[in-house]
Amino acid sequence: MLKKPVENILVRQIEREAYSSNLYLSMASWAETNGFGGVSEWMYAQAEEEKIHLLKFMKYVNERGGKAVIPSVEQPPADFADVQELFERTLEHEQYVTESISEIVGVCLEEKDFTTHNWIQWFVTEQIEEEASVRNIIDKLKLLQGQNLYLFDRDVAGMRGTVPGSQQ
């Protein structure tokens, strides 16, 4: 049975995962309508992954005796200056989600909910990978200095979840 503070913070995370999915859908649409098919494909895949995360939180809350609430979601931005800004905002958002996951860990420890603490560790690891993946893309964009974006766009879809030196 979930303690109320743990249930509340998990339900809050459901809203954040829904927003994340919508944000990446918005970014995918921007990329698609600006000729960046590879970036769009990457963002659509990210949006789908966030939806899966949302469902994991919902199922966990419900299975542990809580009640997952489906939130209304704030509309994400729809316009971006360029691909560099798109990925910089992606990194900022992933850092925000990492902080949110860390807050959940803190509440679990305060409430001595070691079952949820154990369960949330998958998301802790996931966020490390997400941030590293986006940083890798931003590093590649910096190397390009706005040049050869055609090749970058062609290759970016295959860069999802890849981090140099990782064991993937």
What does the pLDDT look like over 50-83, one tens digit per residue?
999 999 999 999 999 999 999 899 999 999 999 9
The separation between the first and the last C-alpha atoms of the chain, rounded to the nearest angstrom, is 35
Q: In the chain, what are the domain boundaries?
A: 4-158
Annotated binding site: 17, 50, 53, 94, 127
- What is the DSSP code (8-state) at residue 56? H
Phi, psi of 3 (to 5 degrees): -75, 150
Q: Which pTM value belongs to this model?
A: 0.90
Least confident of 59-73, 104-118, 142-156: 142-156
d(C-alpha 103, C-alpha 9), whole Å:
8
Q: Which residues contact 81 (CB under 8 A, 6 or more apart)?
A: none
Q: Which amino acid is at 151?
A: L
pLDDT at 22 exceeding the cut of 60? yes
Fold observed for domain 4-158: Ferritin (1.20.1260)
pLDDT tens column, 124-147: 999 999 999 999 999 989 888 877
Annotated binding site for Fe cation: 17, 50, 53, 94, 127
